[in-house]
Chains A and B, each alone.
With several copies, the nearest count.
Chain A
């Protein structure tokens, strides 16, 4: 399941709703991304996440489908927020559920690595030096490339 929204989400309730009434699930992995108060050596007062409505949902659905192709998953959830967020605020939630823990853990890492390089979101940080766009990091491409099939 895919959701792109301005509103915050309730992690416990989302996980519960995703796994309830499916006693075949043995493991649930999740990842929550939070806004940090520093970027390099600068304080971050807030950030605004811009996105490309339509393409975002399409890319997240494609990433989700790819994970379900690679691992035997009983349930998946990706929620990504947009708009203005402050340090400590939740940005993204990825949840994967499977009969076995390894599938859940790997698929969760895969989803978060891939959405970081594929989902059309851009972060604009408010720092003491003014607002600036966050640059993509080479490490993120490398993290996503781990999942490339040979």
Chain B
């Protein structure tokens, strides 16, 4: 499973993307985030406030209960701020 990080989440975790293999019990977005927090102190810190973490599964917005699988591209990022003033 590929996990991508953007903006300050990328900076806090300290990496752009990583290939991970969570245990088989990790089948949802929420479970994946909880598992990612156990990978390092930086992960735990970056992901501690889930209200500012947005998730995309295969480039579509996803919710905590949505499922994730071994071949998915998961992206974690803060609320978007494109466009103009």
Contacts and interface: CB of A to CB of B under 8 A. Distances in A.
In the complex they form, whether A and B have CB atoms below 8 Å apart is answered with yes
Interface of A: 26-27, 31-34, 36, 49-52, 54-55, 58-59, 80, 91-92, 99-101, 112, 115-124, 133-136, 140
Contacts, number: 91
Interface of B: 4, 6-8, 56, 59-61, 75, 77-85
A52 B78 contact: no
Q: Secondary structure at chain B's binding surface: helix, strand, loop or mixed?
A: loop
A10 to B, nearest CB: 18
A53 to B, nearest CB: 10
27 contacts: A33-B83, A36-B85, A49-B82, A50-B6, A50-B7, A52-B6, A58-B60, A59-B59, A92-B83, A99-B85, A101-B85, A115-B83, A116-B81, A116-B83, A117-B80, A119-B80, A119-B83, A121-B81, A121-B82, A122-B7, A122-B77, A122-B78, A123-B82, A133-B78, A134-B81, A136-B78, A140-B83
